[in-house]
Amino acid sequence: MSVRPLPTSTPSAEGVDAAGVHALLDALEAAPDIEPHSLMVLRHGKVVASGWWAPYTADRPHLLYSLSKSFTATAAAFAVAEGLLRLDDPVISYFPEFDADITDPRSRAMLVRHVTTMASGHEAETHDQALATDREEPVRGFLLLPPDRDPGTVFAYNQPTTYTLAAIVQRVTGQPMTDYLRPRLFDPLGIGEVAWLRDRTGRELGFSGLHATTDAIARLGQLYLRRGVWEGERLLPDEWVAEATRSHIVNDDGTWTDWAQGYGFQFWMSRHGYRGDGAYGQYCLVLPEQDVVVAITGATEDMQKVLDLVWSHLLPAFGAGPLSGRERDDAALAERTSRLALPPAAGKPAPPERAVAFTPNGGVCEALPKLTAVEVDAEGRRLALVEDGHRLELRFGEPGWTVTDGPVPAAVSGGWTDPDTLALDLALLETPHHVDLTCSLTDRTFTARWRTQPLHGSRVRAMHAPRDSV
């Protein structure tokens, strides 16, 4: 299907001071611990600023990590509206085959509402325990873990709660969530292709693993901002949106300010508005008071800092009405956002004159244990990563970023930092992740490390949106 572009406008026409957007861009680019990948700002339903830092582009899906949870909750909303699911049903009622196994009264009292609001009664994350208890059926593993307190009385950010909600949705609809959401959400909103990681049961994960574009994030935020209405058509019940975006459970853990404002139906409450978010800085910020949606993708371990920069620089830019005489400011911002780029790694092209194979320094690459060899061709323009018996071939050696569109879309920058050292930055373009790779001609060894640690395995060849084959 063809994707309908979102309507656009200039910042000043929608009461947005372009200087505030510039200030946010300046701050994101100046922060050494934040790598921005994309930014979209919608005001009054129109895109007033958008940009992607090369080598990231608007058309590529990006791993959303836990921002996936907000899409899972939206799937649950449709199932509730269609009478397939009820929030006040016991979770165990949707899994009658486990009924004899689940004997703990708190587990049996757990309602769909409780897993939707991260209030299962467990006081901490149970993901690893649930898998250790039953790897073949994580829902059963989760339900076999007795809650510490009565369901509904305590918050814990807990992946199996969302996984269980997703499992229920997929069970009652008889479909993967991507298929169920296609005619109900994705097509009506004009969202293009998406893909969701699955586990060994064949289920889409629900709590993580969705790959979608920044544009898709923005559209979901706009649907919730308009309280379930899209282009005049009601898609979600107003009551659902109201319940999903209010606090149901206190979650003040005494740490990050924007993670202590309460939790809704797979949405976080914020100091301003509410949001869906995912590891390493994937954001859907909804600001009803300002009539604004902000979509962000990136790579950072300091997620609070990104929000702090939005509150400090962008939030004050939203005025009450149009701003006159700002055409040059608007044009300057549009020009800037059209040429955003991440700085490439330093290095010079220096062909090794013959093909060279490098093996892990120390015998095994600890960060990427399946990576057994790195090969560079005689012209110094092609790189092959040999991982678990598979070869991933990438181009490099051009100025800036060299993009390879293949099974694992990637961009490589860097080069020879001295006659014996090849240092490369590998950006895995459908994820937040990079590999820093250094090869030594002296001893024919390499070292490699993840800049941010992937949460769904550490194989480079898995760093892409799910496809039929790789």
pLDDT surpassing 60 at residue 299: yes
pLDDT surpassing 90 at residue 440: yes
Q: Which residue has the tokens 């939005």?
A: 310
**Residue 438: its pLDDT value, please?**
97
pLDDT surpassing 80 at residue 256: no
pLDDT digits (tens, 9 = 90+) for 68-95: 999 999 999 999 999 999 999 999 999 9
pLDDT surpassing 60 at residue 163: yes
Domain ranges for the chain, please list them: 12-81+168-337, 356-462
pLDDT surpassing 90 at residue 421: yes
Q: What angle do CA 214, 175, 185 make, to 5 degrees?
A: 35
pLDDT digits (tens, 9 = 90+) for 311-347: 999 999 999 999 999 999 999 999 999 999 999 999 9
**Residue 153: its pLDDT value, please?**
96
pLDDT band per the 50, 70, 90 thresholds, residue 352: confident
- Token readout for 107 is 């587990």
Percent of the chain with pLDDT over 70: 98
Q: Which CATH superfamily is domain 12-81+168-337 in?
A: DD-peptidase/beta-lactamase superfamily (3.40.710.10)
What pTM did the predictor assign? 0.97
Measured CA to CA, the distance from residue 178 to residue 175 in angstroms comes to 8
pLDDT band per the 50, 70, 90 thresholds, residue 2: low
Q: Out of 253-257, 369-373, 456-460, pick the least confident.
A: 253-257
CB atoms within 10 A of CB 112: 23
The DSSP element (H or E) to which 113 belongs, if any, is helix 112-116
**Residue 242: its pLDDT value, please?**
98
User: 270: number of CA atoms within 13 Å, CB side?
Assistant: 21
**Residue 379: its pLDDT value, please?**
86
Average pLDDT, rounded, for the chain: 95
Average pLDDT over residues 266-271: 97
CATH pick for 356-462 out of 2.40.160, 2.40.128, 2.30.29, 2.60.40? 2.40.128
Q: Is the peptide bond before 7 cis (omega within 30 degrees of 0)?
A: no
Between 389 and 177, residue with greater pLDDT: 177
Average pLDDT over residues 33-60: 98
**Residue 470: its pLDDT value, please?**
39
**Residue 157: its pLDDT value, please?**
95
pLDDT surpassing 90 at residue 43: yes
The identity of residue 258, as a single letter, is D
Q: Which residue has the tokens 């016991």?
A: 90
pLDDT surpassing 50 at residue 195: yes
Q: Out of 9-23, 174-188, 456-470, pick the least confident.
A: 456-470
Span between the terminal Cα atoms of the chain, in Å: 24
Q: Would the CATH topology of 12-81+168-337 be identical to that of 356-462?
A: no
pLDDT band per the 50, 70, 90 thresholds, residue 380: confident
Average pLDDT over residues 111-137: 97
pLDDT surpassing 90 at residue 397: no
* Helix, strand or coil, per DSSP, at residue 276: strand
**Residue 469: its pLDDT value, please?**
43
